[in-house]
């Protein structure tokens, strides 16, 4: 059981290991938190099974996860940065507001993050791959 999670964790890109990724019973866990639970023997069996199946959550939870991931990323960027979206400059604070309000710009960021998350966590091909994280 633990071996699967260890392999899964080590096959993830390094930048992904501390990002919100796994919704479970109202909380969102990072891969590192899941890994630590596996190592400590506290990982719930049903969470392990969900990870093995790549079946984590409902569509509504996926969107909320996308929002949380985008906000986590934006909050890690220095506030003085300006990001151009469709030729219009946005401060980090403005982009955070766009995401929180669910505007078209905010939704575009969230939907892009959901696509990235799905590639990383819903695909079966990365599980068992012996390539180290990047």
- State what percent of residues in the chain have pLDDT above 70: 88
Q: Tell me the average pLDDT across 20-40.
A: 90
Would you say residue 95 lies in a domain?
yes
pTM above 0.75, yes or no: no
Pick the last residue of a domain from 56, 71, 88: 56
Residue range(s) defining the domain that contains residue 103:
58-125
In this structure, the answer to whether residues 63 and 44 fall within a common structural domain is no
HSE toward the beta carbon, residue 82, CA cutoff 13 A: 6
Task: Please say if the pLDDT value at position 133 is more than 60.
Answer: no
Would you say residue 134 lies in a domain?
no
pLDDT of 69: 92
Structural domains counted in the chain: 2
In this structure, the answer to whether residues 68 and 113 fall within a common structural domain is yes
In this structure, the answer to whether residues 64 and 118 fall within a common structural domain is yes
Would you say residue 108 lies in a domain?
yes
Task: Decide: helix, strand or coil at residue 22.
Answer: strand
SS3 for 96-126 is HHHHHHCCHHHHHHHHHHHHHHHHHHCCCCC
- Residue 85 phi, psi dihedral angles, 5° rounding: -125, 115
Which token pair is 109? Answer: 């960021």
């Amino acid at each position: 059981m633990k071996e699967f999670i260890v392999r899964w964790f080590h096959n993830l890109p390094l930048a992904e290991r501390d990002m919100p990724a796994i919704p479970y019973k109202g909380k969102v866990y990072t891969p590192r938190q899941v890994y630590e639970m596996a190592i400590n023997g506290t990982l719930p069996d049903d969470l392990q099974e969900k990870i093995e199946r790549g079946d984590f959550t409902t569509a509504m939870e996926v969107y909320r996860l996308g929002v949380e991931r985008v906000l986590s990323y934006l909050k890690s960027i220095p506030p003085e940065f300006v990001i151009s979206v469709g030729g219009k400059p946005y401060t980090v604070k403005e982009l955070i507001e766009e995401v929180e309000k669910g505007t078209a710009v905010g939704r575009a960021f969230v939907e892009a993050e959901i696509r990235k998350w799905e590639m990383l966590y819903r695909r079966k091909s990365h599980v068992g791959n012996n390539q180290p994280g990047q």
